[in-house]
Amino acid sequence: MTTSHRRVRLGMVGGGQGAFIGAVHRIASRIDDRYELTAGALSSDAARAAASAAELGIAPDRSYASYEDMARAEAAREDGIEAVAIVTPNHMHAGPAIAFLEAGINVICDKPLAATEDQAQAIADAVKSSSAKFILTHNYTGYPLIRQARQMVAEGKLGKLRIVQAEYAQDWLTEVIEGTGNKQADWRTDPARSGGGGAIGDIGTHAYNLLGFVTGLKTAALSADLQSFGEGRKVDDNAHILLRFEGGARGMVWASQVAPGNENGLRLRIYGDKGGIEWGQENPNVMTYAPFGQPKQLLTRGGAGLGGGGSDWTRIPPGHPEGYLEGFATLYKDAADLIQGTGDGALLPGIEAGLDGMWFINACIASSAKDGAWVAR
């Protein structure tokens, strides 16, 4: 096989039995047949780690009781892993990321970057010192029409940007379900594991990252109003955030996990002096483009009128839906190209996106604690 088609040897930290995001990463890595899962430290519980590895077909001698053992052993093997996916809760990103970067192994890390600023900076320092690549899986940047929107903005189709509205609304925490055996709710609402942010860290960072990815705008300052509507909840479950961008544009992010009727309502609206675009994650194969003074246009994934590059990020003909898993897979494909030297990774979120997300979380917390006072970059 040529270098561009040889499978990348992949390891995983976390993602064992009962984990949601680990399974998503594994599926995404396989969609384009670019990876082979060969090693793992799938749980901090040795028995569960071994059982999870057996279920996934990982050889017993490539199943590790700790990420430290895994990084050391895999770096010493001629056939050791070339990349590791870190799919642990937020507070457990830094240790594995640093260990594998120091071992010269490429890191694919789930978002947000870490639970604290100190952890985030430690990862950034390790990235700077390592020859290995670091990719942060803000997976919504892999959607074809999101990349199309980015291209349209760069080409000036919307003119000078004025207004950006991003929101991510869910309802799964409308009732207080933490402490009832719901594993996802337990760690995501525990500040010791999630970091200080709740909804802003879990889904707000996705909305914030997406608006920056598409528009290229840099945030100058923000004002945040965070709420915890769930009785006794220790992190925010709803947030309204005003944004001021360099160059004069204005924006807003709404992130909520207590909005009944919303499942994964990630939406993006961008308006400039020449036109606007609107896109929603729950129907990601359609985007509205409205040139000012002209009829609205309905753009479809891979469809007519997208121009050059429109088919670069789609796998199947228009009309056959692509969505969440395929968007995730696009990041894994781009990462494989970067690791194997056949791509530049220009569209991949990296350490800068991670640090930007950490600033967003911490600035929101600081602003809300001071009744919405503006926090400058």
**Chain-wide mean pLDDT for the chain?**
95
Q: Does 101 have pLDDT greater than 60? A: yes
- What is the mean pLDDT of the segment spanning 109-129? 96
Q: Does 3 have pLDDT greater than 70? A: no
The pLDDT, as a whole number, for residue 313 is 85
Q: Residues 288, 358: one domain?
A: yes
Q: Residues 211, 355: one domain?
A: yes
Q: Residues 205, 269: one domain?
A: yes
Q: How would you class 221 by CB atoms within 10 Å of its CB: exposed for 0-12, middle for 13-18, buried for 19 or more?
A: middle
The pLDDT, as a whole number, for residue 338 is 97
The answer as to whether 341 is a domain residue is no
Q: Residues 82, 181: one domain?
A: no
The pLDDT, as a whole number, for residue 85 is 98
pLDDT band at 342 (very low <50, low <70, confident <90, very high): very high
pLDDT digits (tens, 9 = 90+) for 166-213: 999 999 999 999 999 998 999 999 999 998 899 999 999 999 999 999
Residue 47, C-beta contacts closer than 8 angstroms, at least 6 positions apart: none
pLDDT band at 2 (very low <50, low <70, confident <90, very high): very low
Last residue of a domain, one of 79, 107, 136: 136
The pLDDT, as a whole number, for residue 45 is 86
Q: Residues 151, 284: one domain?
A: yes
Domain that holds residue 40: 8-136
Last residue of a domain, one of 136, 169, 195: 136
The pLDDT, as a whole number, for residue 187 is 92
The token pair that represents 178 in the structure block: 């933490």
The answer as to whether 375 is a domain residue is no
pLDDT digits (tens, 9 = 90+) for 323-336: 999 999 999 999 99
The pLDDT, as a whole number, for residue 274 is 98
Q: Does 19 have pLDDT greater than 60? A: yes
Q: Residues 71, 19: one domain?
A: yes
pLDDT digits (tens, 9 = 90+) for 25-72: 999 999 999 999 999 999 988 888 999 999 999 999 999 999 999 999
pLDDT band at 308 (very low <50, low <70, confident <90, very high): low
The answer as to whether 343 is a domain residue is no
Q: Residues 132, 157: one domain?
A: no
Share of the chain above pLDDT 90, in %: 91
Q: Give the number of residues written for the chain.
A: 377
CATH number of the domain where residue 36 is located: 3.40.50.720
The answer as to whether 333 is a domain residue is no
Q: Residues 165, 291: one domain?
A: yes
Last residue of a domain, one of 74, 102, 136: 136
Q: What is the pTM of this model?
A: 0.94
pLDDT digits (tens, 9 = 90+) for 252-295: 999 999 999 999 999 999 999 999 999 999 999 999 999 999 99
The pLDDT, as a whole number, for residue 246 is 98
CATH number of the domain where residue 193 is located: 3.30.360.10
Q: Residues 241, 357: one domain?
A: yes
The pLDDT, as a whole number, for residue 69 is 96
In the chain, the number of structural domains is 2
The answer as to whether 219 is a domain residue is yes
Amino acid of residue 289: Y
